[in-house]
Amino acid sequence: MRFKVEAWDPDYRAAPVGEERPAGAVAEPAESGAWAPRGQARPHPGPWILIDGVERVDAFVWVDGRHPGVLFSFAVGAVVLEAGGLAFASEAVLRRVFVSPAAADLALGPSLDYRALPHPGPGREDLLAAAREARRQAEWALGARLAAERPGALVVHDGPLFFPKGGGPGAPRLGYVKSFYQSYLDPERAAILERLAPGQRTPVFRVPAAARRTPRDFLSWYLRLPIAPSAPFAAASGLVRVETDAELAAAPRLADQSLDLFSRLASEPYRDPRAPANLIPIGGLERELRRRLGQRELVRRRILAYAAG
């Protein structure tokens, strides 16, 4: 296979990563009681499994001068939090994919094999979306495997929940969302967010499937993490949104448990530029996963050498 590599650094060409913009549907309260801040944190008796992944566009290419392509690497791993402490899960996933209408397996040297992921999408954004869906599939599968090995474990995915095609109901999961592009609440109910103190959450609300084009409705809540009260941070600092695919009967308990865990694991500004929302174990996991992706400059040199050969 012959291809040419775009000269620009892929970071300047890649579409931004973030939560899919809602389609305009508004959430409705789902938890009984007044629409007011709640602060009853409670511990979860079982293990927590924190899942995250990192990704990198290694190159944008053109195959035979006609077909766009993306060389994409991602690594997925987990941190397990149990009574004895926390540790990286021994199982991790490192994959490299070549997404293109003309994709083929590529062997570019030791530990640099790209698996073909054919996709008919005519545009680069379509190819990137397919690559990122492969990453989310790997995150979901890793969480399911680790949870099956640990009865009573609760899985947390860093980012919005992924609903795999053909995936049926399983153990409840939580999605930990740090970036907001649009509120799911109407302006009147969204006013509660400014009143949340550290260690408080909103009541649970139901997000319609149309709001993010998911296969079904899901439940969600906002909470505020602790942050230095004397620092001149904006009102939104420390605000995160949690979502779950659990049934309504279990959601308030999960919301209280998430308030306990995330408040204890919140990072601090001197340690992490995304504090307090980037949880301490997640920050460590991301650093380890980026190490496994390999050096960007070395990977790019190999790609250029292959294209030139």
DSSP code string of 2-45: -EEE-SS-GGGTSPPP-PPPP-S---EE-SSS-SS-B------S
pLDDT score recorded for residue 22 = 52
pTM beyond cutoff 0.85: yes
Distance CA 241, CA 12 (A): 29
pLDDT score recorded for residue 15 = 58
Summarize pLDDT for 185-239 with one digit per residue, the tens: 999 999 999 999 999 999 999 999 988 888 999 999 999 998 765 566 676 778 9
Distance CA 309, CA 204 (A): 57
Summarize pLDDT for 239-276 with one digit per residue, the tens: 999 999 999 999 999 999 999 999 999 998 878 888 89
pLDDT at 17 over 60: no
Closest CA to 13 of 131, 135, 124: 124
Choose between 40 and 25: higher pLDDT.
40
Mode of pairing for the β-strands spanning 67-82 and 93-100: antiparallel
DSSP symbol at 202: P
pLDDT at 136 over 70: yes
CA-to-CA separations, 281 to 32, 69, 85, 158, in angstroms, rounded: 33, 34, 11, 11
Beta carbons of 49 and 80 less than 8 angstroms apart: yes
DSSP symbol at 94: E
Distance CA 63, CA 106 (A): 13
Total domains, the chain: 1
Domain extent for 58:
3-308
Beta bridge partners of 193: none
pLDDT (mean) for 173-182: 88
Closest CA to 262 of 309, 201, 217: 201
Residue position matching structure tokens 């939560």: 19
Summarize pLDDT for 30-59 with one digit per residue, the tens: 999 999 999 999 999 999 999 999 999 999
pLDDT at 168 over 60: no
pLDDT score recorded for residue 165 = 76
CA-to-CA separations, 201 to 36, 109, 216, 242, 257, in angstroms, rounded: 9, 50, 24, 10, 11
Q: How far is CA 308 from its chain centroid?
A: 36
